[in-house]
Amino acid sequence: MAASCASTLPSLSFVSSSSSNSPRRFRRSRVVAMASVGQKVYAPGVAVSEGNGGLPKIDLKSPHGSEAEIYLFGACVTSFKVPNGKNLLFVRPDAVFNGQKPISGGIPHCFPQFGPGPMQQHGFARNVNWSIADSEVTEGDPAVTLELKDDSYSRSMWDFSFQALYKVSLHSTSLSTTLKITNMDDKPFSFNSALHTYFRASIAGVSVKGLKGCKTLNKDPDPKNPLEGKEEREGVTFPGFVDCIYLGAPSQLILDNGLGDKIAISNSSWSDAVLWNPHQQMEACYKDFVCVENAKIETVQLEPKQSWVAEQKIELV
């Protein structure tokens, strides 16, 4: 049974002395948290604390011993620890936590654009503050739902009214996410999306299984003109630079992270997948992570009041 705390969860509010017309982005030195976290009521296993750079983060703790961290900036899950203490996610050493740049690592959002395009790289959702809409606990497992709505900053790039709800649920050996996009406008809109998940890894030993037979769009060597092909390998490895889109990917992939762990990455409605490792373009850390991303490369179109829902589950197997 789930116990909900929606009625006692006003969203965190901030005041900025900046004159910028980007109301959801803040310089750390000018941000003041106006709400007292101690006065809020959250479901058991859900807490809010000050994270890196003074940015607020949500801490999820399961009675089974698993833990997760989610920053309100970008609604970015930056840590998922299983009961043995291993963190399955990776945050790059060059990541900044200043409320000005997206957090490089964990599970960043790509919305409403994947990759380059008319707006900033991967869209704006990873570069703004989300608010807390709800928290709940089900059989001891905590969950939190974050919300993002349009404002003048988003409309300067994408002139539509929308609501994004992102639920993160923690279990003993798995982390589940549900993303719901609703068209709140009086006209249709279209978008792309992805979860740009960074997994901790030893890249020389990494393999990803489940993609054999998929149509590929290989962005190496020319990302502007990807080469079409078909994946013939049972397990994809990473001997060098890899940046490849897999269309029509299956509902589950198996990642061997090269560190002795096998991770099942399951999904619904994320119809595609992306594999990425920068190799020597990021010499300081490329050996320590791999990105296995659930994505929706084909454009989604929503009529007014319509919604699109996609789920992801990361589980140690």
Catalytic residues: 196, 293
Helix (H, G, I), strand (E, B) or coil at 127: helix
Indicate the residue type of 216: T
**CA 12/CA 25 separation, integer angstroms:** 14
b/e per residue 23-51 (b: at least 16 CB within 10 A): ebbbeeeebeeeeeeeebebbebbbbeeb
Residue 89, token pair as written in the block? 């996610």
CB atoms within 10 A of CB 121: 13
What is the enclosing helix (H) or strand (E) of 81?
strand 76-81
Residue 93, token pair as written in the block? 């050493």
What residues contact 308, with CB distance under 8 A and at least 6 apart?
Answer: 180, 181, 269, 300, 302
Alpha carbons within 13 A on the beta-carbon side of 234: 0
Q: Residue 242: is it exposed, middle or buried by C-beta count within 10 angstroms (0-12/13-18/19+)? A: buried
Backbone angles phi, psi at 184, to 5 degrees: -100, 5
**CA 187/CA 196 separation, integer angstroms:** 29
